[in-house]
Amino acid sequence: MTQPVVLVVEDDPAQREVLAYNIRAEGYLVETAENGDEALLMVQEHAPDVVVLDWMLPNVSGIEICRQIKAKSETRDIPVIMLSARSEETDRVRGLETGADDYVVKPYSVAELLARIRTQLRRSRPSAVGQRLEFEDVVMDVEEHRVYRGDAPLKLGPTEFRLLATFMERPGRVWSREQLLDRVWGRDIYVDTRTVDVHVGRLRKALCSTGRADPVRTVRGAGYALG
């Protein structure tokens, strides 16, 4: 499976660096943003697996950022952990009602935050015992690089394999073309977004080669989803 990506949104440079260092040490990829506008752009383009979001940000508050993340179909399933010095029950309720999946009061221990990140990842990414992913009648053996639909083996190229793995890690989630480019091709490689359509087409052809229905769904104006 792909390494989980955690986006840290914190305007204080020292705190941002400490958070990033400790989360990387846990084995995750880390992206950072220092304000709300940058955070929204990175969420839209890079589709992190978890967002660690400070409440008090310049210009646009973390509450508003969380609201916007949860308002869009392609990003609403991304878990958001809100960090705040506000410890009153009314503040915690407000954060959770805005859509935050968890609320951590400052000061907090690094161990506690990492545990909460792991919890959100377990909820949002299906477990893969022995690197095995399943969705309905589609089974992927990540280690052996094999895919089956029912009992029939499927022939997939490397790109289609990575594309399917991305879909199967988060069934039902809508991925934009830009997000798929980022996950499947990498952030340092320029590829036209139309290339995504070509490879999704190849993946669909392989998945339907057994005569079964196409499990990949096109979401008009948004992208693609599995199921």
Full-model pTM: 0.66
pLDDT tens string 41-88? 989 877 888 999 999 998 889 999 999 999 987 788 899 999 988 878
Would you say 8 and 16 are in contact if contact means Cβ atoms under 8 Å apart?
yes
Supply the pLDDT for residue 111.
Answer: 93
Sheet containing 152-154, strands listed edge to edge, beginning at the edge strand earlier in sequence: 132-135, 138-141, 146-149, 152-154
pLDDT above 50 for 222 = yes
Q: What is the DSSP letter of 117?
A: H
| Residues 16 and 40: beta-carbon distance below 8 Å | no
Closest C-alpha to 85, from 101, 108, 61: 108
DSSP 45: H
In the three-class reduction of DSSP (H, G, I as helix; E, B as strand; rest coil), residue 48 is classed as coil
Mean pLDDT value across residues 194-212: 94
pLDDT at 212: 93
Which residues 6+ apart lie within 8 Å of 28 measured at CB? 3, 4, 5, 6, 117
pLDDT at 1 over 60: no
Considering the chain, what percentage of its residues have pLDDT values greater than 70? 95
CA distances from 142 to 9, 17, 149, 158, 167 (A): 32, 33, 14, 12, 13
- CATH fold label, 5-124: Rossmann fold (3.40.50)
Report phi then psi at 219, rounded to 5.
-105, 110
CATH architecture of structural domain 132-226: Orthogonal Bundle (1.10)
The answer to whether the CB of 181 falls within 8 A of the CB of 196 is: yes
Number of helices followed by number of strands (H, E) in the chain: 8, 11
For residue 189, name the pLDDT band (cuts at 50, 70, 90). Answer: low
C-alpha 178, offset from chain centre:
13
Instruction: Work out the pLDDT band at 167, boundaries 50, 70, 90.
Output: very high
**pLDDT of the residue at 128:** 43
The pLDDT assigned to 129 comes to 43
Q: Rounded distance, CA 171 to CA 196, Å?
A: 18
Per-domain boundaries in the chain: 5-124, 132-226
DSSP string, 162-209: HHHHHHHHSTT--B-HHHHIIIII-TTS---THHHHHHHHHHHHHHTT
Half-sphere exposure of 157 (CA within 13 A, CB side): 11
